[in-house]
Structure 1
């Protein structure tokens, strides 16, 4: 019996899990204690939308590691459109494309890039990793060394040229490398030179391409980042960065933002036009005995994964930061890479052969966010909701067409928990709430807010005894939900 089955059996015996009477997937008993269930009339449920039915949004989903065959696109592709994200992050895989010197095999990418686009999901492709068939060609793995030799760099140039030439009409955005700061041999100065070299090759073939740097593993290595930008400044190449991507995992996602703001301040001192994007973040869905990868030192469940993902997505969104949710499918890392085992951050649970077993609770939660927060919902960073609980985060939004208001709320005091009692909170905010409703973004359930629990003074509305859990919920004018009700 493998470790996963042993753990599963132990949880069943302990009573933490209960089997569904219809033979479906087991659920946590404690979920009844952890979800927001107001004693109000339920009036509907959020509908989800396919990516093809959403005109545009800032949301992206991770499709990483296809370059190393750790996930199976053909197995998860049918879940891609219904998820509702408008973009997908892919890794180009130099070593998978060029296994024999000078010969490129793009069949695997040809089976992915056009298919994703046909589902309404635009690919953005990372140019990585190295290729060991060339001495000094870099390493083909996470945290790998960048190409350094003259021969390796020339071969890299040739592959980049072939990639961009082939996909320039299908890929509008290119990211250059992934987590270069994770390898102690990759310096910020060296990466600056490598980035400029690659960016200029891309622009020479695809002048309108948008370029992403740097896929930073850490948000605290400001000296490393400063060295990178000093090279770009010296070479008059600061305009080669359109978007700055970063990762940085935290057990409590809300603790990430002070360091992110420090990073933004540094980058904007070089070029205030650079847009920020959270390029890779997500939580595991299993106990630490099962998962590998970031955040593996704590126990997780499918419920706490959904909570964590919602907090990170809407913590980013409320601050005007685009988000790439990591990731669509569990990842099966193999020997020879940075780690070995299954990274359970996928929204889709996999079988041992990497085919899809089922969607997790986080898949449904992400659908609710991706379907609702499209380009018709604008962030109102100048509107500051007032809440009675110091530990509650709140962000205001408005529907561009009908003016209906929305406010996201969650308790940020600790890492999401399997058991949590929502805290009654008073919220006061400016906005339009003709028919206010409460929305649970995990279940999608919509509840009418009783008239005795809200009042209006001028353009300010006060809501009392709002049950705020440790994951995002909504107070919204029902008209603002027009696209998903």
Structure 2
């Protein structure tokens, strides 16, 4: 493997043939004592992490090419799209062979599928469109055909798919209203429940996190139909250049939804950053230049920003997506953790794949968020969340600077962190590289049950202060 070194402002950047610049902090005499071990999904009992497997319904990605990367990634769930128009190309005849080759295989790798019921089917008049931002089916004939397909797919996979999401980004189509989508949702949700009573139902796949009127109209319709209990999970997307800037609007949405049903669980249903300059990628965030390094930083900030607020995350997406003519856009969406060849086969993992492995492997159901503990940090733009490992009871603190969108070059800010925690041997962890560093003893001290760490280098992506015994390396 080709290795080169680049020193910027006192920090060491290691360049490898594996991907774009692989960043590792080298702080004075800080000693590297190991590297985080990653875990296959089958070795992880449970977690809130999901990976995107979208657009197989339109053949924009190739599951057979990326499936071997799925288990080693460590996510416990995968989002798939059911693809009415791919299943039913001739009226009344269903071909599920393509999903039969995906759903059981993903489950066999320790990754539970959750399936989105979408899009329309133009073989029916008023059947809607089989693409992003397409309209839902509206004619009596098309709605009956939709019901028939939903009945067929849920019946076929009810023992393999525990969760069903109904539609994707309905607010992207300006003709849709929250009321109309509410009626369509209730119709579909009741049908799913009649076949699979224990199914968990997912709404709403909102593209925007600011269209609260749309959300209100949707829930007003569900309330009118006495159907508020038909939403178990609320999903939203809402891409932002600085992922940390999204949360005020997300919180407004949460508070609104909880006035209707306080039991609704929130999940980031689709989010990720491109890995290429704006001249190359399509899709959200395409108006800025990106690299594999800034993609990895952004993805980590979204994942751990969500996790620190009790929000489950579906990272978008496992493979670059090749959109073709006739859809909402044309070209390659480079948000994949895996770089593709022109034929959609996998070229190699990107830096973000490695970063995601570290988070998925570490933050499983044995790591507990402690929202009542708020670290004191000397930099007001530093985000900080506290966790503990249930069995060992050791503390973990995630830290990053959220002042702006991730940069190609960034000088970490020396930060003092004071927190109540349990440490015997604290270490510093870089979540991109997985490197574990020994923190010099002169840079931390204990007073009662509080610990103070001084001059901790906090970059513009998540790092950790962790009890050594609480991480696997």
Q: Give the alignment's TM-score, normalised by structure 1.
A: 0.94
Shift of 1:27: 3.8
Q: In the alignment, which residue of structure 1 is the partner of 2:190?
A: 200
Task: Determine if contact 1:384/1:396 at 8 Å carries over to the other structure.
Answer: yes
Is the partner of 2:281 in helix, strand or coil? coil
Counterpart in the other structure of 2:267: 277
Say whether residues 1:36 and 2:34 are aligned partners.
no
Q: Aligned partners of 1:246 and 1:467: how far apart in 2?
A: 33
CA contact (8 A) 2:20 2:292 kept: no
Superimposed CA distance per residue, residues 314-348 of structure 1 (whole angstroms, 9 cap, x where no aligned partner) = 00000000000000000000000000000000000
Task: Give the superposition deviation at 1:479.
Answer: 1.4
Alignment root-mean-square deviation, CA = 1.1
- 1:237 is aligned to 227
1:8-407 to 2 correspondence within 5 Å? 24=17, 27-28=20-21, 35-39=24-28, 40-407=30-397
Paired positions, count = 459
Q: Whole-Å Cα distance in 2 between the matches of residues 139 and 127 of structure 1?
A: 13
User: Aligned equivalents of 1:235 and 1:305: distance in 2?
Assistant: 43
Cα contact 2:170–2:176 (8 A) shared by 1: yes
Distance in 2, matches of 1:27 and 1:127, equals 36
Contact preservation (8 Å) 2:20, 2:293:
no
Q: Aligned partners of 1:234, 1:204: CA distance in 2, in Å?
A: 20
Distance 2:42 2:209 in 1: 34
Q: 2:460 aligns with which of 464, 470, 474?
A: 470
The CA distance in 2 between the partners of 1:449 and 1:54, in whole Å, is: 29
Q: Determine helix, strand or coil for the equivalent of 2:234.
A: strand
- SS for the counterpart of 1:166 is helix
The equivalent residue for 2:3 is none
Q: Deviations over 1:414-466 (max 9, x none)?
A: 01001000010000000101100000000000011111100001110000000
1:36 touches 1:468 (CA, 8 Å); kept in 2? no
How far 1:25 sits from its partner (Å)? 5.1
Other structure's SS at 1:452 match: helix
Contact 1:268 1:274 in 2 (8 A): yes
DSSP-derived class of the 2:454 partner: strand
Task: Give the conservation status (yes or no) of the 8 Å contact 2:20–2:350.
Answer: no
Question: Structure 2 vs 1, CA of residues 215 and 391 (structure 1 numbering), >3 Å: closer, same or farther?
Answer: same
Query: Secondary structure at the residue paired with 1:90?
Result: strand
Poorly superposed stretches of 4+, deviation over 3 Å:
24-28
* In structure 2, C-alpha distance between the alignment counterparts of 1:59 and 1:21, rounded to whole Å: 29
- The answer on whether the counterparts of 1:409 and 1:472 sit within 8 Å (CA) in structure 2 is yes
User: Please, which runs of 5 or more residues in structure 1 have no aligned partner?
Assistant: 1-19
Give the C-alpha shift of residue 190 in structure 1.
0.2
Distance in 1 (CA, whole Å) between partners of 2:236 and 2:196 is 24
Residue 419 of structure 2 aligns to a residue whose secondary structure is strand
Offset, 1:181: 0.4
**Offset at residue 26 of structure 1 (A):** 6.3
Conserved? CA contact 2:20–2:291, under 8 Å: no
